[in-house]
Amino acid sequence: MKLLTHNMLSSKCLKNVNVGYPLSIKVEEMITSVVDFNPEFIARIIPKLEWNALKQAVNEVGKDSCLPNNLIENFENDEDFLKKVHHVLLEIEIVNGCLVCPETGRSFPINNGIPNMLLNEDEV
Amino acid sequence: MKILIICNAGLVNGLSEEVLVDSLKEYGELSNILLPPGKSYCFVSFTTVENSKSCCDSCNGLLNIAQDNKPIYLCFIETLPNVVDEIVWDTLPPGLIILENFINDDEEKLLLELPNFRSLESGNMKNRQVKHYGFEFKYNINNVDKNDPLPDEIPNACDFLWPRLPDKFGNFIPDQCTVNQYLPGQGIPSHVDTHSAFEDPIMSLSLGSSVVMDFKNGNKHYCILLPGKSLLIMSGESRYLWTHGITPRKFDIVKKDDRCNLSVRGLRISYTFRRLRHGECMCDFINKCDSWSQKTEQFSLDDNEIALKLEEIHVHQVYENIADHFSDTRHKPWPNIVEFIESLEDGSILVDVGCGNGKYLGLNKSIFNVGCDRSSGLINVCKDRGFQCFTSDCLSITLRDGSADACICIAVIHHLANSERRLNAIKEIVRILRPGGRALIYVWAKDQFSNNEKSNYIKEDKRLDQVADADLTEVVPSVDGVQLPIHINRTQFKHKDLLVPWKLKRCSENKGTFLRYYHVYEKHELENDCGNIPSVKITSSYYDQGNWCVIIEKIKK
């Protein structure tokens, strides 16, 4: 699971959960790999992100230093900034661990990079 | 050893049972004959070894009944080969009764003369002459017009029959009768009498020559001798599930008490008595039941618990079992779906809901692709192919509102077992779309011949086909009392809610066959569902290879 995918995931579908976002990450195994950098692509993705959720995720996976605290203006033209966002969104992968609902504490396991978000019938 | 093989003559090069039995009977009583279809050999055995030996000595190289009047060559063998469609004698299908000598000679004579087949009133069928009483049976629709009785009711001369019926059928009063006249060489194709047309039972009185009637159900084939003056009663399974027919030929091979004999056919007349059904057939044999499609609505798929259980058994478990094989057969992306994906703006986020093996993920390198599916087997395939994916149900997609620029949902929603769930799946897609975002949805169409073209599903070459027909007649699975018809692969759909067999490659046994639940869509059904969601605009709808398809847009507030 890349952090861009994590930025979209939510446990809102759980019964009695209002927002269910962001899910906190508990890492057991993490890898980083090299992904081709496409500055235009990243510049287009950034406005779709929940920046605070990304900040929290980066913090939880121990990569705090990789990302500036605030979304800067004119990020489209700041290649250094785009590269940093590129790295955290696409190059960090959680292989094993879990995601935790902020409201209920329900834990969703991540195995082999795949979050298992299936809910039991009595949870929805 | 009593079994002889005739090495150079069989059905495929012109030998008939008739010639065989006729030529060999002088050597003694035959106990068995077997002419495998499509073979140039056959088997015979006599009741004693001596007879078999005498036949072999006298005929080998000498009896000229092989092709072009050449001699046959015989030798002894120990056992007969296994034959799949072995004909069974002396066994009746469940619910079948034969009452021999149901009438006497005088009564037979009376009934033989009753219908005048020389008059113009009688119909001339391809294989036989027919005359109807009460109501005309219309062969083009395999039914009767219940509002259009004939002037001739069933002749009163038949009234003496009914008091003789077994107690169980004491209430049987027919209102329709078809009289068939068969000359030697004539027959009737195998059929099941239309369920909605007639009640149970159906009775047929044989007059004149005896004949062998074939009863078939799946690969079961029972041969039953109908002697003259006998009454055949078909009820229950034998009336609703088994086909019956008469092979057009001039003789029958009759096997009784381990003896095979040739029986030459003469003129035969049958009276078939039936009672019209008013209302729908309520039988349990739904694969042969024309009333079934109207009935499915009555069943309680609307009950969510039943729908869930059905999906669990006939969708989720099936996909886990067939995941690898399913994935091997899903390679080629469909052009219209590729076009939608290619049309997305660079930097878009695309969610594939029910992504399967991920065949639509990663086609467009300028967007972010993420897939979800509830089959962990298929999601593992996606992950191995390097795609972003997670396990999730299409009714509870664990993504935040408005997180997707676009969604595709291909061949997924038709696996949901009631209309509320199918509508909720579309609502869930709309929820995760951002305002202005678009979704492409494909579902299987009931009509596989739209635009007068056969869909690929129908015309796909059988030899390349990974999906083989399962045995369709044996078991009709049931989930909490909901029974669904099993579809015959590569044919037009007859029902809206049904089970489609998936047969695993290289798995000949039945345990390799899985039944997937589908709801197949009528024209406009998908659009109507989408139209019921307030924030949705349908931007396009079309028919593509046997699927109904829509592109919807989430309206900006």
Rounded to the nearest integer, the mean pLDDT of chain B is: 87
pLDDT tens sequence across A56-99: 999 999 988 888 888 888 899 999 999 999 999 999 999 999 99
Is the same domain home to B30 and B59? Answer: yes
Is the same domain home to B279 and B309? Answer: no
Q: How confident is the model at residue B539 (pLDDT cuts 50, 70, 90)?
A: very high
Where is mean pLDDT largest: B116-125, B442-451, B510-519? Answer: B442-451
Give B274's strand partners. B176
pLDDT higher than 70, residue B11 = yes
* Residue B82 counted as domain residue: no
A114 contact residues in B (CB cutoff 8 A): 376, 379-380, 383, 389-391
- pLDDT for position B257: 75
* Total domains, chain B: 3
Is the same domain home to B259 and B320? Answer: no
Contact B501, B486 (CB under 8 A): yes
Q: Say if A96 is an interface residue toward chain B (CB within 8 Å).
A: no
* Residue B233 counted as domain residue: yes
Residue carrying structure tokens 């795949």: A114
- pLDDT for position B485: 77
Q: Do A117 and B391 touch (CB under 8 A)?
A: yes
Q: What is the mean pLDDT of residues B149-170?
A: 93
Q: What is the mean pLDDT of residues B512-517?
A: 85
CATH-assigned architecture of domain A10-115: Single Sheet (2.20)
Share of chain B above pLDDT 70, in %: 89
pLDDT tens sequence across A14-62: 999 999 999 999 999 999 999 999 999 999 999 999 999 999 999 999 9
The minimal CB distance from B396 to the residues A8, A13, A38 is found for A13
Q: Do A44 and B346 touch (CB under 8 A)?
A: yes
Lowest average pLDDT, out of A74-78, B245-249, B301-305, goes to B301-305
Neighbours of B388 (CB within 10 A): 24
Q: Do B388 and A124 touch (CB under 8 A)?
A: no
- pLDDT for position B121: 53
ipTM of the complex: 0.97
Last residue of a domain, one of B38, B59, B77: B77
- pLDDT for position B72: 95
Share of chain B above pLDDT 90, in %: 59
- Joined tokens for residue B148: 């259009």
Q: What is the mean pLDDT of residues B82-88?
A: 70
Q: Say if A41 is an interface residue toward chain B (CB within 8 Å).
A: yes
Residues 6 or more apart from B348 whose CB is under 8 A from it?
A44, B367, B368, B405, B406
Q: Which residue of A has its CA nearest to B366?
A: A41
**For chain A, domain boundaries:** 10-115
Q: Which residue of B has its CA nearest to A18?
A: B400
Is the same domain home to B95 and B190? Answer: yes
Q: Say if A72 is an interface residue toward chain B (CB within 8 Å).
A: no
Where in the sequence is the domain holding B343, given as residue range(s)?
A: 298-554
Residues 6 or more apart from A66 whose CB is under 8 A from it?
A58, A84, A87, A88
- pLDDT for position B258: 73
pLDDT tens sequence across B434-479: 999 999 999 999 888 776 666 666 665 443 333 333 334 334 556 6
Q: Say if B349 is an interface residue toward chain A (CB within 8 Å).
A: yes
pLDDT higher than 80, residue B405 = yes
Q: Do B368 and A4 touch (CB under 8 A)?
A: yes
- pLDDT for position B556: 83
The minimal CB distance from B347 to the residues A12, A41, A115 is found for A41
- pLDDT for position B466: 34
Q: Do B346 and A124 touch (CB under 8 A)?
A: no
* Residue B292 counted as domain residue: no
Cα separations in angstroms, B26 against B29, B58, B367: 8, 11, 85
- pLDDT for position B297: 46
Is the same domain home to B350 and B416? Answer: yes
- Joined tokens for residue B520: 């197949």
pLDDT higher than 90, residue B274 = yes
Residues 6 or more apart from B112 whose CB is under 8 A from it?
B207, B208, B269
Last residue of a domain, one of B229, B251, B285: B285
Backbone angles phi, psi at B18, to 5 degrees: -60, -50
pLDDT tens sequence across B44-71: 999 999 999 999 999 999 999 998 889 9
Is the same domain home to B139 and B157? Answer: yes
Assign residue B67 the CATH number of its domain: 3.30.70.330
Is the same domain home to B68 and B92? Answer: no
- pLDDT for position B476: 56
Is the same domain home to B72 and B99? Answer: no
Q: Sheet holding A24-32: strands in order across?
A: A24-32, A92-100, A107-111, A114-115
* Residue B290 counted as domain residue: no
Last residue of a domain, one of B47, B77, B107: B77
Is the same domain home to B245 and B263? Answer: yes
- pLDDT for position A51: 95
Assign residue B100 the CATH number of its domain: 2.60.120.1520
Lowest average pLDDT, out of A118-122, B12-16, B183-187, goes to B12-16
Is the same domain home to B179 and B230? Answer: yes
* Residue B451 counted as domain residue: yes
- pLDDT for position B511: 61
Burial of A13 (0-12, 13-18, 19+ CB in 10 A): buried
Q: What is the mean pLDDT of residues B256-283?
A: 88
Residue carrying structure tokens 């006249």: B181
Is the same domain home to B324 and B409? Answer: yes
Q: How confident is the model at residue B293 (pLDDT cuts 50, 70, 90)?
A: low
* Residue B69 counted as domain residue: yes
- pLDDT for position B494: 73
B395 contact residues in A (CB cutoff 8 A): 124
Q: Say if A97 is an interface residue toward chain B (CB within 8 Å).
A: no
Q: Which residue of A has its CA nearest to B348?
A: A45
